[in-house]
Structure formats: structure tokens, C-alpha cells
Amino acid sequence: MHILITRPEGKGTELALELQQAGYQTTLCPVLTLDYLTPSSQALAPLENADKIIFISQDAVHALLKLTPTINKTAQLYAVGQQTADAIHEAFGRRAAVPKKHDSEGLLALKTLQDVELSNIVLVKGEGGRTTIAKTLKQRGAVLNQLVVYKRRAIESESGKWMDHWQTAGVEGIVITSNAAVDAIFNGLNESQLAWLKGCQFYVASERIAEYLQQKNVIRTHIHIAAGASDSAMFACINQQGSKMSESDLKQSAKPAAAEPAKKAAAAKPASNQVVQHKKGISKTGSLALLISLLVASAVGYEFYHKLNSDQQSTLAFNELTTENQRLQQQLDAIKNAQQTLQQALYNSEQKVADTLRDNAEQTQQQLQAALKRAEQQSYTLNPQEVTSLQRMAEFKLWAEHDFRGAAAVLSRLDSLLAEHPGTGAIRQAIHQDLQTLNGIDPVAVEAIYLKLHGINQKVDELVFNAISLPEEVSQDDPNQLSENVSEWRQNLAKSWLQFKDFFVTVRTREDMVVAPFLSEQERHLVKQRLRLYLAQAQDAILTKQSSVYFTAVEAAHALVKDYFKQDDAVTKAALKSLTELSKEQLDFNPNVSLQSTEQVKEWAQ
């Protein structure tokens, strides 16, 4: 057989080599090309909080990898097929869950995708493509975000140009792995090209593609479904079907060869042919009747043998024997006629049953195709419960958790959901107003303030206390110093009296005043303990969001450092600077925010 491989460029080479080694002729003719898309940051945001991420194909993995998104490290990853799972492991270094049956139904049958109510699921896919997964997950109550990262596009605008080349090359089988490839091949053909194309054998990757081909009026016997889109699955499907077709061709070629000698024998010996046909018509019942007749004939012959001694009885016995043989022959002919009648009746019944089954199968197939068309034509309606649930989640994060960034992320997810459905412009406008409000709120840097207070607390032991530096005594000349001149004995006597008096009473003076008392070691320890207490109180207040307690503790700590510690010391200056900055922090833990989208969602849901 000559097999045509229509997979995108670079994906059908290994399959072609395997088929060539097995004796097939192959032609590589990609009918689609892939264009990677660049979604907005808003569309990529759900990946950060996703509980489950589903990849439809290898192309979805490669396209998302080029965007270098932030993906939740705890999210569970899923792949439709094994090759997609291998691509996920190579791109992100993580294992993905793979169903046994590599299609949408097999993926949805996984146990971990059964109970997904309110689970955040991101479906990474191409433009268009599978709709069964999205519809089913939404019906199961999941919060679904569809991330479109690539789209398929037909390489040739006029597929008729392909047909001439394929017909000339003698293509008999075509490998197809997507519905987009079916459209690229079938669109724009004339009647003769369609007739030739429908006569080919199609090897497809899933039941979904097979049903789509049947909508193009390709008969089911020309469609063969592989166990997946992998090269090994496709090769097994083609090779198995090729073996069956080869056996069928051998049987058909053997029948005419055997028929020629039979015709010649029939022409040469018509009488013997009639005998053969009679022999073919004898059933088990006829054989039994013949056996009985032989036994009877033997018994009659035995009796005739004993009667040969009498000449008178021999003639009578012979006549009786002849009559009995004639009667047995008549019975045998009647049995043969009855057998032929039964065989004809059985053949007619089998033919009628086969015709009825074929008609019922065609009628059922037509009904299924009509139902599928109606299902595809019905547009999916927006689920009010899903919209209300997302809005309530945003309110919970805003009022209960004070998580403004989380509330904005939930509203962004709701906006992407509403973008797929018309008539939701008012709600989306209110959502964008709420997003502007939430993004404009600066959250309190609780962690930074806490760590700053901790740093001051670690430096308390290095603070230097204020100390009183006593000035030097005033140096004065002693006026009572004795003179060595004898003539001044009266003055020396008076000075001696003054020195005697000063020995008992001494008065010394200083130029400055004492402004603060000294602190004992115990008092210094208590001052530092009070400072640590104020800092710890401020840390606790920032964690419990008590702004008044925080500011009181910071001001008390600032006053304590200023009163008891050396102001020109570097550690004291740093502590005072940090405490001053901490006293100016804006601690607005509960800003007055109201969501405009809440009322819009309520009105829409009613």
C-alpha cells in the first residue's frame, strides 16, 4: 500500500521510516502549520493558582513553554496521550497523569477528575479543537479557564492541488490526527476528487476524528482507529489492516483460478457433475436413512439366502426385495427434497436478518450523526451558579482575608469566563472598575515593619547610656604660701594660721553644674528591659493589626532611647532614626472598599 502521512512538519518522519521498513510506500505531505499565540498576562494569571492543568497536545506544551509562565508548583498535571506527557516532563520536569485510552473520554474517566467541584482547572489547548473536556468539567462544577496558546492553519488554500498529486502517486491510505486536518483535505474539492478521496483508507487517532470523517460521508469500513496519535499506535493500526487486506486479496485471486478447472470439468462430464451436486445436498438425515435402508436390504438379502432352497419362494422373495428397495428409494428422495427445502428457507432467513441488521445499523448511524450535529449547533449557555460562586469567592478574599491581590485574581478569572459569552458587558465593566480599585491599594508591609523592629531589638545591648563627665578642678595659686623672707615674719604667721584653719575645713569650686544623677547597674538593666518590652509590644500589635497600640509602643520606645542613651553615639542615632520612620508608617488595615460588580452579578443572576 501507498500511505500518505498528513501530520505537521517534523512529526511524521519516524512513522514513515517504520512503514518503509515494513514494505509500504510512504509520502509525507503536511496539510497544517502551527502558529503560536501570545495570550495576555491576565489570561496566564490562572496558572499561578491552578489546582489542575490539562494539556491537550504536545503543541500546547511547547507553545506554553515559550511564554515562560509562572505555574503553581503544587498543581496536578494531565496529558491526553503519552507523547504529550513526555513533552511535559521534558519542558517542566514534572510527571503528568495519562489515561489508558488516549482521548477525551479516557481523560475524563480518570478518578482524580471526577470530583472537581470548585477546583481551579486550566485547559491548555489550541484554537477550536476539543469541546468535550471543557463541557464535562463545567458540568462537574469545576472553575475552568481555557488557555488558547496556538492555532492550526491549512498550508494550502486549495486542497484540490493536493488531490492531483496524490492520485498520480497512487495513494491508498491517509493518516489523520486532527479534525482540522480533515477540514484542510476535504474543503474545496469537486465531485470527482471527493469520490476518489472517499475511496481511500483512513487511519485516525481517535473515535472523535472517525465520527467527523463520517460526517464527510466516508463509510465506516474505510476508517480505522488507532490506539492513539503516537507513531507506534499508528504503525500497528496500518500494519494490522494491511495484513487483513492482503489475506482478502489472496482469497479473491484464488477463487477465479479454482473456478476454471471446475468449468472445464462441468463441460466435459455433465452427468458426473450432477451426481456430485446430489452428493453435496445429502445431509446427516439422508445419510442415516441410507444406512437404515442398507441394513434393511442386508436383512432382506439374508432372508432371501435362506429361501433359495425353495424354488417357489425365491421368486416371491425377489419381488419383495425389489418392492422394499423401491420404497426405501422413495423415502430417500423425499428426505433429500426436504433437506433442500430447509436449506433454502434457512438461507432466505439469514439473508433477511442480515438485510435488517444492515438497515438498522445505517438508520442508527444517521440518527447519531443528526444528534451530533444538533449538539454541535447548540451553543453552550453560561452557568449562573459558576458566575455567582466566583463573585462570592472574590468578596470572601476581600472582607474575610483582606487579600486584595487574591480578590483581583478571582475577578480576572470571572472576566475571562464572561468574555466568551455575549450580553455580559455591564458586568465586565464593573469588574474592571473593581480591578482598578484593588490594584490601587498598597498593602501594609507587615513583614518589613516586624523585621525592622526585630533589628532594633537586637541592637539594644549595644546602646551607650548617658554619663556625667566631671570637669577638672580650677587650678589657682595658693595665697597662703609662706615667704622665705625673714622680714615678713608677721605675714608668714598670719598665713600659717590660715593654713591651719584650711586643714580642718576645705572648700573647692567647679565651673559647671551637675544636670543628671548617675544610674546604678540594676537601673540600667531595667531601662533596657523596658525598651525591649516596648519593641515587642509594637511587633505584636503589627501582627494583630492594632494600629493604636503599635504607635503608642513605638513612641514610648523613642522617648526612652532619647532620655537615657548617649545621643551622639552611632547606634543611638540609628535607633532613633528607625523609630522615627516607624512612627510615620501608614497602617490602614481595613480600607473602605466596595465591589461594583456584586450588584451587577446579582441583577444578572435574577
Same domain, 52 and 148: yes
For residue 412, being part of any structural domain is answered with yes
Distance CA 85, CA 88 (A): 5
Distance CA 379, CA 544 (A): 51
Same domain, 493 and 579: yes
Can you give the pLDDT at residue 204? Answer: 92
Is the pTM higher than 0.85? Answer: no
For residue 111, being part of any structural domain is answered with yes
Same domain, 21 and 47: no
For residue 255, being part of any structural domain is answered with no
Q: What is the 8-class DSSP label of residue 496?
A: H
For residue 318, being part of any structural domain is answered with yes
Same domain, 53 and 145: yes
* Cα 598 from chain centre: 31
Distance CA 58, CA 88 (A): 8
Q: What is the 8-class DSSP label of residue 471?
A: P
CA nearest neighbour of 181 among 80, 19, 57:
57
Same domain, 143 and 176: no
SS3 state at 370: helix
- Domain end residue (candidates: 351, 369, 395): 351
Which residues in the chain land under pLDDT 50? 250, 253-283, 377-379, 513-517
Check: CB of residue 534 under 8 Å from CB of residue 560.
yes
Q: What are the DSSP E strand ranges found in 463-606? A: none
CATH number of 40's domain: 3.40.50.10090
Q: DSSP for 276-336, please give it.
A: HHHHHH--HHHHHHHHHHHHHHHHHHHHHHHTTT-HHHHHHHHHHHHHHHHHHHHHHHHHH
Same domain, 311 and 400: no
Same domain, 310 and 335: yes
* Domain extent for 544: 446-471+480-583
Count: domains in the chain: 5
Same domain, 47 and 132: yes
For residue 591, being part of any structural domain is answered with no
Pairing mode of beta strands 32-36, 52-55: unpaired
Give the tens place of pLDDT for each residue, 337-387: 777 777 777 767 777 787 788 778 878 887 787 776 655 544 456 778 888
Q: What is the 8-class DSSP label of residue 15?
A: H
Pairing mode of beta strands 32-36, 143-154: antiparallel
Neighbours of 276 (CB within 10 A): 13
Neighbours of 195 (CB within 10 A): 10
Check: CB of residue 398 under 8 Å from CB of residue 595.
yes
Distance CA 296, CA 245 (A): 54
List, in order, residues 6 or more apart from 411 with CB less than 8 Å away.
Answer: 390, 394, 431, 434, 435, 438, 595, 597
Distance CA 385, CA 411 (A): 15
Phi, psi dihedrals of residue 121, rounded to the nearest 5°: -120, 135
For residue 254, being part of any structural domain is answered with no
For residue 292, being part of any structural domain is answered with yes
Same domain, 48 and 142: yes
Can you give the pLDDT at residue 268? Answer: 40
Same domain, 204 and 234: yes
Same domain, 240 and 304: no
Same domain, 561 and 465: yes
For residue 368, being part of any structural domain is answered with no
Contacts by 447-456, CB closer than 8 A, 24 or more apart: 449/542, 449/582, 449/585, 450/539, 450/542, 450/543, 452/578, 452/581, 452/582, 453/535, 453/538, 453/539, 453/542, 453/582, 454/539, 455/578, 456/535, 456/557, 456/575, 456/578, 456/579
